[in-house]
Structure 1
Amino acid sequence: MLNFVLFGPPGAGKGTQSEKLIEKYQLIHISTGDLFRSHIKNQTALGQKVSALIAEGQLVPDGITIDMLEEEVNKSPNAKGFIFDGFPRTIPQAIALDEFLEQKGTSISAVIALDVDQEELKKRVAQRQKESGRVDDQADKIQKRIEEYFTKIIHVLPYYEEQNKLTKINGIGSIEGIFDELCAVVDQY
């Protein structure tokens, strides 16, 4: 089973590249952001909690995120593999994901980090907000999310680097060029 974590700050291109990887490798994409937005849209109890946290620019607690992710993985017992987008965001989440996958007889194959500088991220997210109208792309909220990534979330990378599972890819360039680099990593597995 191929299991990848696609890592990067908001606006790095994870969603765009995930779509291309899904199509090529028949993997299932699990985006915690998409899961959160779905719960918010459907106004579930979880969605209401998540909405309040996101409105404040805070991370959703590990327990809620992990339970939701496990539920999503369990919906696809015959999957060829998964792309985890936006998860894990903390070392405890990374450990919980490893333990969960181990119970299922699999593991993370690789972690691919898209490197994009903060100025480029701001431009991309501003453009995305114009096109999609995503409420979580408002300037003040997105700046807080970008800062959260560079001050907290990025510290998960050494966890995977110690396992020799981390590959960094320059996330600035053509969509196809970046995709080719991602495929070169995936094709090793």
Structure 2
Amino acid sequence: MTRLLIVGPPGAGKGTQAARLAAAYGIPAIATGDIFRHNIADKTPLGIEVKAIVDAGDYVPDSLTNALVTSRLDEEDARDGFLLDGYPRTLDQVSYLDDLLASKGQALDAVIRLVADQEEVVSRLRKRAIDQGRVDDSEAAIRHRQEVYARETTPLIDVYREKGLLIEVDGLGEIDDVSTRISEALAARQIAPVA
């Protein structure tokens, strides 16, 4: 089965492409934010702990994030493949994920990076904010999120590039065109969708 990560700046279309990849490759799309929300809603012991941290305005520590991801990857639908979105976010999480997969005799197949011009993404997100009446999505807030993303993910992207796992795909354009570019890049690595 296929084990993938998808990364890209906010507004690059990660969620849309993750859903398409999950369907095409027969694997669950696993977003860390969804794991947090699911555990909080179900009031699991980890969810209660996460809620207290989030309610206090703090970041969820790596140890807790790792525990939640481990639990999710142990679920039946993810045992033979998955697409992670939003994890790993730190170098320690990269090491943890590598060790976790190695303990199961597995490894990542590829890391898909959606590349998008920052000005184009800011413009896209501003338009969406205006269309949807999101007053908190000011241009300054959007630019700040782009800077945080760049600062946090650049070291991870470098690690995956060194490991030969990184596939960089132009994330701008029509949704179908981006999906095609991703599929072609994966096919070039002998990673094929489910028949």
> Shorter-chain TM-score category?
0.7 to 0.9
Hey, what does 2:87 align to over in structure 1?
Answer: 87
* Structure 1 residues 3 and 94: CA distance shift in structure 2, 3 A: same
Report the secondary structure of 2:107's partner residue.
coil
Matched position secondary structure for 2:76: coil
1:48 maps to what in 2? 52
* Correspondence list, 1:145-160, <5 A: 145-160=145-160
Q: Which sections of structure 1, spanning at least 5 residues, go unmatched?
A: none
Q: Structure 2 stretches of 5 or more lacking a match?
A: none
TM (normalized to structure 2)? 0.81
Any idea what the Cα deviations from partners look like across 1:42-71, whole Å, max 9, x if unmatched? 6742123134447xxxx5321121111111
Q: 1:37 to 1:51 in 2, by over 3 A?
A: farther
Report the structure number with the largest CA radius of gyration.
2
> Given that residues 129 and 137 in structure 2 are in contact (C-alpha distance below 8 angstroms), is that contact kept between their aligned partners in structure 1?
yes
Equivalence for 2:35: 35
What amino acid does structure 1 have at the position aligned with 2:54?
V
Instruction: State the identity %.
Output: 35
Contact 2:10/2:145, CA 8 A, preserved across alignment: yes
Per the alignment, residue 183 of structure 1 pairs with 183
Residue identity opposite 2:119 in structure 1: E
Q: 1:4-83 to 2 correspondence within 5 Å? A: 4-39=4-39, 44-45=47-48, 46-53=50-57, 59-76=59-76, 79-83=79-83
- 1:133 shift after superposition: 7.8
TM-score under structure 1 length normalisation: 0.84
Equivalenced residues, count: 184
Distance 1:127-1:82 versus aligned 2 partners, 3 A rule: farther
